[in-house]
C-alpha cells in the first residue's frame, strides 16, 4: 500500500486496501489485528493527503475520522500489549521468586485505564477489547476478589467468537493460570478444581492447544489435565481423554507420556477400587517407559514408590528411596526449590513406612501435622490419605482447628 501511495495509484491502493481489510476481518480480533488496522488507517490518511484533493469540509472531516480510528486502534494495541506483558512478567516473577514487575507496574499506575476506556467508547461504542483487558488486569491484580475473575470470564465468554483463535487460546490460558495460581496460594484442599476442570474441557473441545507456533498439545498441559481428572476421580473421562488427545502429543514424546498416563490411571483407579489387578496393570505400563524423558523422571519414581507402599513391597521401596535421594543430590539440573520438596516427600514417606512397621519412635500426630503444612505439592493429598488410618478423627479435627 505504501508503494501504491508513492506511485499515486489510488485505484489500485483501494483494491489492495479492501483485500487486506477482508483478510484481517476473517481471522478475528487480537493485538496484532489492532496494530495492522492502525497501519491501514495511517496509509488511508497518507493517500488522501498525497493523492487526493482536500478542497471541501467533507474531505477534512473524513481525514479527521481516519485519524480518530488510527488513534483508537493504536490505543487498543498499546493497552493489550502492556497488560499482556505485565502479567507475563508477574507470573514469571512469582514462578522464579524474583521481583521484575516494578517497571510495568509503574507505567500502569500512572495511567487511568478505566477513564481511557470511557473516552474511547464515546467515539467507538462497540470497542470491547479494552474492557476485556482491563477485566483481565483487575482479576490478576486482586485475585482474592472472585467477582473480578467472574467479570473477566463473563466477557471472554460473551466475545469469544469475535476473537482470533490465538486470542481465544490466550484468554483461556489466562483463566486457567488464574485458577492454578490461586490454588497454589490457597490452603483449601480442592480449591478451584471444579472450575479448572470446566476450563480444561472447553480448552480441549475448542482445540485451543493449537496455535500458529505448534500443532501439538504441550506435554505439561496434557499432564496437568490428567492429574486433575484423576484427583477428581473422573476415571471414565480420563480413559477417553488419554485415548483421544494423546494423538496430539509430539510423536517423539508420545509413547512415554501415554504409558505414564495409563500407569497413573490404573494406579488411582486401583486405589479407589482396592483392586490389585489395576495396580499390577500400572506396573506393566510403568515398565514400558524409557526414562530418558527428563520431565517425567520424578513422576515415574514417585509412582513406583506409591505402588510399592500400597502393595507392601517395603524392601523395594526403601531401595528406591535411597536411589532417588542420590539422583537428586547428583543432578545439577534439578532446581533447588524442587529438590527441597522432593526430599521432604521422601522423608515423610520413609517415616510412614516405619510407622506402618510399628516403629515406636514415629509419632503419628506429628507426622500428620508435618503433612498438613506441606503445601503446594501434588502428592500432599496422597500422603494425607495414607496417614489418616494412624490418627484418630478427634486429633485431626483438633489440628485443623488449631
Task: Kindly report, residue by residue over 272-291, the tens digit of the pLDDT.
Answer: 999 999 999 999 999 998 86
What is the predicted pLDDT for the residue at 140? 92
In a domain, 97, yes or no: yes
Q: Give the pLDDT confidence of 45-73 residue by residue, as tens digits.
A: 999 999 888 778 888 899 999 999 999 99
In a domain, 253, yes or no: no
Sequence-distant (≥ 6) Cβ neighbours of residue 135 within 8 angstroms:
148, 151, 152, 155
What is the predicted pLDDT for the residue at 389? 86
Sequence-distant (≥ 6) Cβ neighbours of residue 6 within 8 angstroms:
none
Residue pair 94/181 in contact (Cβ under 8 Å)? The answer is yes
In a domain, 40, yes or no: yes
What is the predicted pLDDT for the residue at 99? 65
What is the predicted pLDDT for the residue at 337? 79
Q: Give the pLDDT confidence of 172-212 residue by residue, as tens digits.
A: 999 999 998 888 776 555 668 999 999 999 999 999 998 76
In a domain, 128, yes or no: no
Residue with cell 492502525: 38
In a domain, 287, yes or no: no
Q: Give the pLDDT confidence of 86-138 residue by residue, as tens digits.
A: 998 887 776 665 666 678 888 888 888 889 999 999 999 889 999 999 999 99
In a domain, 305, yes or no: no
In a domain, 65, yes or no: yes
d(CA 28, CA 168): 10
Q: Give the pLDDT confidence of 206-248 residue by residue, as tens digits.
A: 999 987 677 899 888 999 999 999 999 999 999 999 999 999 9
Share of the chain above pLDDT 70, in %: 92
What is the predicted pLDDT for the residue at 189? 53
**At how many degrees (to 10) do helices 129-141 and 165-184 cross?**
10
Q: How many domains does the chain fold into?
A: 1
Within 13 Å, how many C-alpha atoms sit on residue 306's CB side? 26
The 3-state secondary structure of the chain, one letter per residue: CHHHHHCCCHHHHHHHHHHHHHHHHHCCECHHHHHHHHHHHHHHHHHHHHHCCCCCHHHHHHHHHHHHHHHHHHHHHHHHHHHHHHHHHHHHHHHHCCCCCHHHHHHHHCCCHHHHHHHHHHHCCCCCHHHHHHHHHHHHHCCCCHHHHHHHHHHHHHCHHHECHHHHHHHHHHHHHHHHHHHHCCCCCCCCHHHHHHHHHHHHHCCCCCCCCCCCCCHHHHHHHHHHHHHCCCHHHHHHHHHHHHHHCCHHHHHHHHHHHHHHHHHHHHHHHCCHHHHHHHHHHHHCCCCCCHHHHHHHHHHHHHHHHHHCCHHHHHHHHHHHHHHHHHCCCCCHHHHHHHHHHHHHHHHHHHHHCCCCCCCHHHHHHHHHCCCCCCCHHHHHHHHHHHCCHHHHHHHHHC
Residue pair 256/296 in contact (Cβ under 8 Å)? The answer is yes
Q: Which domain holds residue 51?
A: 1-123
In a domain, 169, yes or no: no
Residue pair 10/51 in contact (Cβ under 8 Å)? The answer is yes
Nearest CA-CA partner of 300 in 314, 288, 313: 288
Q: Give the pLDDT confidence of 304-326 residue by residue, as tens digits.
A: 999 999 999 999 999 999 999 99
- Distance in angstroms between the alpha carbons of the first and the last residue of the chain: 71
Amino acid at each position: 500500500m505504501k508503494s501504491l501511495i508513492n506511485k499515486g495509484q489510488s485505484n489500485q491502493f483501494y483494491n489492495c486496501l479492501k483485500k487486506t481489510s477482508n483478510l484481517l476481518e476473517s481471522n478475528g480480533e487480537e493485538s496484532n489485528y489492532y496494530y495492522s488496522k492502525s497501519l491501514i488507517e495511517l496509509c488511508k490518511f497518507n493517500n488522501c493527503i498525497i493523492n487526493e484533493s482536500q478542497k471541501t469540509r467533507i474531505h477534512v472531516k473524513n481525514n479527521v475520522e481516519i485519524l480518530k480510528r488510527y488513534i483508537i486502534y493504536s490505543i487498543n494495541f498499546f493497552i493489550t500489549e502492556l497488560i499482556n506483558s505485565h502479567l507475563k512478567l508477574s507470573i514469571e516473577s512469582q514462578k522464579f521468586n524474583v521481583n521484575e514487575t516494578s517497571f510495568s507496574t509503574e507505567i500502569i499506575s500512572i495511567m487511568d485505564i478505566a477513564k481511557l476506556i470511557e473516552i474511547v467508547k464515546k467515539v467507538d461504542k462497540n470497542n470491547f477489547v479494552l474492557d476485556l483487558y482491563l477485566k483481565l488486569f483487575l482479576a490478576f491484580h486482586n485475585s482474592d476478589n472472585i467477582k473480578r475473575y467472574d467479570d473477566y470470564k463473563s466477557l471472554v465468554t460473551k466475545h469469544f467468537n469475535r476473537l482470533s483463535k490465538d486470542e481465544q487460546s490466550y484468554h483461556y490460558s489466562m483463566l486457567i493460570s488464574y485458577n492454578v495460581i490461586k490454588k497454589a496460594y490457597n490452603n483449601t484442599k480442592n480449591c478451584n478444581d471444579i472450575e479448572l476442570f470446566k476450563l480444561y474441557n472447553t480448552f480441549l473441545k475448542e482445540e485451543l492447544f493449537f496455535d500458529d507456533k505448534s500443532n501439538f498439545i504441550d506435554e505439561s498441559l496434557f499432564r496437568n489435565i490428567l492429574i486433575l481428572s484423576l484427583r477428581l476421580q473422573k476415571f471414565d473421562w480420563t480413559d477417553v481423554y488419554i485415548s483421544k488427545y494423546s494423538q496430539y502429543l509430539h510423536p517423539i514424546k508420545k509413547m512415554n507420556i501415554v504409558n505414564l498416563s495409563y500407569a497413573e490411571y490404573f494406579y488411582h483407579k486401583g486405589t479407589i477400587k482396592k483392586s490389585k489387578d489395576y495396580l499390577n496393570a500400572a506396573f506393566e505400563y510403568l515398565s514400558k517407559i524409557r526414562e530418558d524423558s527428563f520431565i517425567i523422571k520424578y513422576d515415574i519414581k514417585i509412582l513406583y514408590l506409591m505402588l510399592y507402599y500400597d502393595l507392601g513391597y517395603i524392601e523395594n521401596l526403601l531401595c528406591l528411596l535411597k536411589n532417588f535421594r542420590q539422583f537428586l543430590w547428583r543432578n545439577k539440573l534439578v532446581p533447588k526449590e524442587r529438590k527441597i520438596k522432593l526430599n521432604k516427600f521422601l522423608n515423610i514417606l520413609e517415616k510412614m513406612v516405619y510407622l506402618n512397621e510399628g516403629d515406636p519412635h514415629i509419632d503419628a500426630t506429628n507426622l500428620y501435622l508435618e503433612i498438613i503444612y506441606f503445601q503446594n505439592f501434588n502428592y500432599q493429598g496422597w500422603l494425607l490419605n495414607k496417614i489418616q488410618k494412624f490418627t484418630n478423627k478427634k486429633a485431626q479435627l483438633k489440628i485443623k482447628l488449631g
